[in-house]
Structure 1
Amino acid sequence: MSNTPHELAAEFPEFADKMSALKQSDAHFAKLADTYHEVNRQVHRAETNVEPMEQLAEDQLRKQRAALKDEIYNILKA
């Protein structure tokens, strides 16, 4: 299991400028990015045993992170 933090800037480096602009101009995108960041932080803390949690809860957070990432990507590529 990877404990690499999956920050949006690292996931989509080709969209760094667009993400920055959208965070300022699009409230929905900003909320998605903030939610992604929070869920990603929770997953990373669980992976590194800073805040251990049951595997099912961690798996659910991973699925939520993936869904948020997909939605963010769809906005970025539009």
Structure 2
Amino acid sequence: MIPEKHDLHHEFPEYHDRIHELKISDAHFSRMFEEYHDVNREVRRIEEGVENTSDEYLEDLKKKRLLLKDCLYKMIAET
């Protein structure tokens, strides 16, 4: 099974420039962006079978990824 892509540029292609701008100009956004992508990479590695873990741990990671994505989206959508 190939995991879905959840990187922010794939999730929100219409905000590509805004995401880039915030990564450069907003340290808080940049930290959250990196944390989101770290969690996303870990989820993908588990889903690809590179790492083994409990289902509970994977579900917790997915919830964390969703929470981070929601927070990042709020920051992205603000104009």
Tell me, yes or no, whether TM beats 0.5: yes
State the TM-score bracket (shorter-chain normalisation): over 0.9
Matched-pair contact (CA < 8 Å) for 2:2–2:48 = no
Structure 1 runs (4+) greater than 3 angstroms displaced: none
Structure 2 residue 46 is matched with structure 1 residue 59: no
Query: Partner residue of 2:10?
Result: 10
RMSD: 1.2
Show structure 2 runs of 5+ residues with no match: none
Distance 1:56 1:27 in 2: 31
Q: Percent identity?
A: 41
Letter in 1 for 2:57: A
Deviation at 1:3, TM superposition (A): 1.1
Matched-pair contact (CA < 8 Å) for 1:5–1:41 = no
